[in-house]
A = this chain, B = another copy of it.
Amino acid sequence: MGMVGGGLDAFIGAVHRRAAVFDHEIELVCGSFSASPEKSRRTGQSLYLPDDRIYDSFEEMIQREKELPEGERMDFVSIVTPNHLHFPPAKMALENGFHVICDKPMTLNLQEAKELAQIVEKSGLVFALTHNYTGYPMVKEAREIVRSGKLGTIRKVVVEYPQGWLSKYEEGNDYKQAIWRTDPARSGAAGCMGDIGTHAENLAEYITGLKIDELCADLTTFVPGRLLDDDGNVLLRFDSGAKGVLHASQISNGEENSLKIFVYGELGGLEWHQMEPNTLHYKSQEGHRLLRPNVGEMSPAAKAHIRLPAGHPEGFFEAFANIYRNFAYAVKAHMNGEQLDPVYDFPSAQDGVRGLAFIETVLASNKSAEKWTKFIQ
């Protein structure tokens, strides 16, 4: 693995690195960790990389690695930069024969996303998007329960993602995470909706298998001086006729990272909270069950993403690692010309396109005086 971005003080780069090595399938062999060559160097050294595998730019990295003999060069590129720097390295990596795993949202805008999806398709290479919340085993179990038909036809979906960390003007406080996420040039046209609204959208579509067909959005920027939305409330209509609500916020003061989803069907309902990720509530008028990893029967899809016996909590890193491990399996299968067992799934470039389409639809709806805006294709 060669990494683009993830300098020493970047939050998500360190997450990717831990997730990547977690299952002993992936080794970090090189990187271009920062726009600052000096910082890239310091980062690489702290990770015990040899000097000649620490690069000044992603262009250099891709070029030079390609020149290395097969077996020595990196197998894939991991992109963990701010949003505006996803597309260029992804494109170049794919066009030079490297598989890609990329942070979300996939690109800065929908046009880039569509172009990237085409490049992926043409390349025949493996591409993964780290919508990491789909890596939780109980999220897999939720999807399997929906697929099994046990809930009957899905009628209603509520997905909420409140955070409180941007309740003040943190971007004025030399707070790196806040600064780029509230900067349209680096984050894209949406703030809260791009950063976490897309996770909510992806989770809802992942678990239910439904697609949002039209929506009605009301976005707000509550904190004075902020350039992007920090809160959004959305009514959803799915292609199947199901209805829904999605709301996300960075000004829900006191909330940590409280992604939750509720799915209701004719025959039963599901509830899952990211902050207590090892419990899936399965309810119906007959009773309320707490489904837990390695307790009782469980789908093969969920089991394939659990590493510990019952009662030993796995968390955010492990879910993230599941995405990396499955991607590594896919890369290996690609190398060996094999088919990968579909239990080892991960978000695709198509999911990335939907994420950007969601952002653009939400922004369009927010400006519109009409109630419903069709999901942009």
Q: How far is B290's CA from A155's CA once the two chains are assembled, in angstroms?
A: 24
- In the complex, identify which listed stretch (A32-40, A88-96, A100-108, A304-312) lies at the interface while the others stay far away: A304-312
Q: How far is B295's CA from A15's CA once the two chains are assembled, in angstroms?
A: 19
Q: Are A269 and B233 in contact (CB under 8 A)?
A: no
Q: How far is B252's CA from A266's CA once the two chains are assembled, in angstroms?
A: 9
7 contacts between A and B (CB under 8 A): A21-B24, A256-B295, A277-B313, A285-B295, A288-B291, A288-B295, A317-B318
Q: Are B262 and A252 in contact (CB under 8 A)?
A: yes
Q: Are A258 and B311 in contact (CB under 8 A)?
A: yes
Residues 346-374 (chain A) with a chain B CB within 8 angstroms: 368-372
Q: Are B158 and A160 in contact (CB under 8 A)?
A: yes
Which B residues touch A278, using CB under 8 A? 275
Which of the residues B235, B262, B288 comes within 8 Å of A289, measured between beta carbons? Answer: B288
Q: Are A18 and B11 in contact (CB under 8 A)?
A: no
If A156-B249, A317-B314 touch, whether A22 touches B22 (CB-CB below 8 Å) is yes
Q: Shortest CB–CB separation between residue A242 and chain B, in angstroms?
A: 9
- In the complex, identify which listed stretch (A114-122, A140-148, A163-171) lies at the interface while the others stay far away: A163-171
Which B residues touch A265, using CB under 8 A? 253
Kindly list the 10 A-B residue pairs having the minimum CB-CB distance in the complex, ordered from nearest.
A254-B283, A256-B311, A257-B311, A313-B315, A254-B269, A315-B315, A256-B310, A287-B296, A312-B316, A288-B290
Q: Shortest CB–CB separation between residue A320 and chain B, in angstroms?
A: 10
Known A-B contacts: A288-B292, A370-B371. Give 12 more (CB < 8 A): A18-B22, A155-B253, A163-B311, A167-B267, A253-B267, A256-B309, A257-B309, A288-B289, A288-B291, A314-B316, A315-B315, A369-B371
> Which residue of B is nearest A158, CB measured?
B247
> Which residue of B is nearest A244, CB measured?
B233
Q: How far is B26's CA from A47's CA once the two chains are assembled, in angstroms?
A: 11
Using a CB–CB distance below 8 Å, which chain A residues touch chain B? 11, 14-15, 17-18, 21-24, 47-48, 151, 155-156, 158, 160, 162-165, 167, 216, 218, 220, 222, 231, 233, 235, 237, 243-245, 247, 249, 251-258, 262, 264-269, 274-278, 281-292, 295-297, 307-318, 368-372
Q: How far is B3's CA from A24's CA once the two chains are assembled, in angstroms?
A: 15
Q: Are B275 and A311 in contact (CB under 8 A)?
A: yes
Which B residues touch A18, using CB under 8 A? 22-24, 307
Q: Shortest CB–CB separation between residue A13 and chain B, in angstroms?
A: 12
Q: Shortest CB–CB separation between residue A177 and chain B, in angstroms?
A: 8
Which of the residues B164, B233, B310, B312 comes within 8 Å of A264, measured between beta carbons? Answer: B164
Which of the residues B245, B256, B268, B369 comes within 8 Å of A247, measured between beta carbons? Answer: B245
Q: Are B275 and A264 in contact (CB under 8 A)?
A: no
Q: Shortest CB–CB separation between residue A207 and chain B, in angstroms?
A: 15
Q: Shortest CB–CB separation between residue A132 and chain B, in angstroms?
A: 10
Which B residues touch A256, using CB under 8 A? 292, 295, 309-311
> Which residue of B is nearest A219, CB measured?
B243
Q: How far is B295's CA from A282's CA once the two chains are assembled, in angstroms?
A: 13
Which of A245, A247, A371 has the largest number of chain B CB atoms within 10 A?
A371
Q: How far is B220's CA from A292's CA once the two chains are assembled, in angstroms?
A: 29
> Which residue of B is nearest A265, CB measured?
B253
> Which residue of B is nearest A11, CB measured?
B309
Q: How far is B369's CA from A233's CA once the two chains are assembled, in angstroms?
A: 18
Q: Are A285 and B253 in contact (CB under 8 A)?
A: yes
